[in-house]
Amino acid sequence: MKSFETGSGSSSTLKSTVAYLLLPAAAGYKLSIGRGWKIEPRLGFYLACGIAGNTSATVSGESATVSTFDTGIPVGSFFDNRKVVIGIQVERDFTETNGDNFKITGAKAHNSNVSIVAGYLF
């Protein structure tokens, strides 16, 4: 679930809470860094489509459309020693979520995400 709100106190407002169905594709390569630890840099691509949620937008009193389709690129790095995995990944999208019909004070709105991973491998 990604969400944001902007425009408090101005004539343009945008509030969005959208649940996305995300279809990722990523590639990584594990490199040994000693004492059983490996580092795995990853790079990928994803497609996402909003399947649930609420989006409302107004510009000077008129409603506007907001895109719920999203594409982007995840980049990350993960460390593991066959028992523990830790990592971080950043996602940045290419699609303007505010669409061509709605500009927030002339700016473009994009989704982004940061994931921190910690896990134990059985």
Q: What is the pLDDT of residue 72?
A: 92
Give the Cα separation of 97 and 65 in Å (integer): 10
- How many CB atoms lie under 10 A from the CB of residue 61? 7
**Tokens at residue 11, please?**
């004539």
Q: Residues 10-25: pLDDT tens digits?
A: 566 666 677 888 899 9
Q: What is the pTM of this model?
A: 0.68
Mean pLDDT of 27-47: 94
The pLDDT mean for the chain works out to 79
Closest CA to 26 of 78, 79, 68: 78
Q: What is the pLDDT of residue 22?
A: 87
Residue 66 one-letter amino acid: V
Contact 17, 53 (CB under 8 A): yes
